[in-house]
Amino acid sequence: MYTSKMLNTDALKGTNIIVTGGGSGLGKSMSKYFLELGANVIITSRNFEKLKATAQELEEETNGKCLPVQCDVRHYEEVEKMLEISIAEFGQINALLNNAAGNFISPTERLSANAFDTIIDIVLKGTKNCTLALGKHWINTKQSKSVVLNIVTTYAWTGSGYVVPSATAKAGVLAMTRSLAVEWAKYGMRFNAIAPGPFPTKGAWDRLLPGNLKDQFDMAKKVPLKRVGHHQELANLAAYLISDYSAYINGEVITIDGGEWLKGAGEFNLLENIPEELWDSLEAQIRAKKRR
């Protein structure tokens, strides 16, 4: 069921959506579903050849309109140019999905200042650049309704070692989401975020689980539901949050991780490793203490 498509086929009809990092991974999967729901999608990233190939593939698969536009989100002037091209093509933009990211595992003391900056610049500054450019445009043109959806991670609030620049940047994106949800609601903008747990993509797995780490750290084992995410279930949630069906949801971050982060957080969750047959004896020991 969770691998099937959730919304009515015209749920995003006439909606023009910019998806940063839309040429690969989760951005591509979400873009595909938006197109299937009748949206026009602008996919952007640094690699134009990749974007062109993805746009062609998605158009063939969905009969929708997908425009590839090269844009490094780290540079405000490139974002403004990308916005200009998108408006010239579609007239207006209704939604922005800040999905582009950079990340890799590393002990923090091994990072150069530039390595740390690179991740902050893609994730936090990139999200800021796109949000500021679109937000100013929507305010200036008095567009009555628009949506920003940000992709964060569950370690945006827990933090995480070995991906410290990413955790720092995603925490900033989460703060930006909640802040602007309130400040810019008066302009008709809604801001929400999705915090995915593990959803296999080449981009993430190559940088977070290189070599045989994939076998050593089976991500599915960390998840109470004992599986990783399916791209369609993330796409279902993203489409809902962009659509008007979620018109009253603003400033929310929705976790979609099968319970993964809570498993790490709950003090005694590790007791799941205790074999069933030991519980009689443990209970007896606890009750015995009470009688003394």
**CB of 281: closest distance to ligand NAP in angstroms?**
40
* Known active-site residue 155: yes
Q: Which residues pair with 189 in a beta bridge?
A: 146
C-alpha span between 272 and 208 (Å, rounded): 27
* Beta carbon nearer to ligand NAP, 38 or 71: 71
Quick one: angle between helices 231-242 and 25-36, nearest 10? 60
Q: Is residue 25 a contact point for ligand NAP (CB under 6 A)?
A: yes
Site for ligand NAP contains 69 (CB under 6 A): no
| Binding footprint of ligand HXC on the chain (CB under 6 A) | 101-104, 106, 110-112, 114-115, 118-119, 153, 166, 198, 203-204, 207-208
Q: How far is the CB of 215 from ligand NAP (least distance, A)?
A: 17
Select the binding partner of residue 115 from ligand NAP, ligand HXC, none (C-beta < 5 to 8 A, by kind).
ligand HXC
- Which residues are 70's β-sheet partners? 45
Residue closer to ligand NAP by CB (options 36, 257) is 257
Q: Assess 209 for contact with ligand NAP (CB under 6 A).
A: no
- Residue recorded with tokens 């940063």: 20
- Work out whether 19 is an interface residue with ligand NAP (CB under 6 A): no
Sign of the alpha-carbon dihedral angle for 236, 248, 255, 167: positive
Which phi-psi region, left, alpha or beta, contains residue 188 (left: φ > 0; alpha: ψ -120 to 50)? left
Site pattern 84..103 for ligand NAP (x: CB under 6 A): ---------------xxxx-
Query: Which residues have CB under 8 Å from 58's CB, separation 6+?
Result: 28, 31, 32, 35, 41, 43, 64, 66
Q: Is 116 left (phi over 0), alpha (psi -120 to 50) or beta?
A: alpha
Nearer to ligand HXC by C-beta: 207 or 230? 207
Q: How do strand 16-20 and strand 95-98 relate by DSSP bridges?
A: parallel
Which of ligand NAP, ligand HXC, none lies near 106, with the C-beta cut-off 5 to 8 A by kind?
ligand HXC
Residue matched to tokens 């999967």: 29
In this structure, what are the phi and psi dihedrals at residue 254, rounded to the nearest 5 degrees?
A: -105, 120
87 binds, among ligand HXC, ligand NAP, none (CB under 5 to 8 A by kind): none
The C-alpha torsion from 155 through 119 and 205 to 209, rounded to 10°, is: -80
- Answer with the entry of ligand HXC, ligand NAP, none that 151 interacts with (C-beta below 5 to 8 A by kind): ligand NAP
Contact between 151 and ligand NAP per CB under 6 A: yes
Count of chain residues binding ligand NAP (CB under 6 A): 28
Cα angle for residues 127, 169, 187 (degrees, 5° grid): 35
Kindly state whether residue 127 participates in binding ligand NAP, applying the rule CB under 6 A.
no
Does the footprint of ligand NAP cover residue 26 (CB under 6 A)? yes
- The contact set with ligand NAP (CB under 6 A) reads 20-21, 23-27, 45-47, 50, 72-74, 99-102, 122, 126, 151, 153, 196, 198-199, 201, 203-204
The residues carrying an active-site annotation are 155
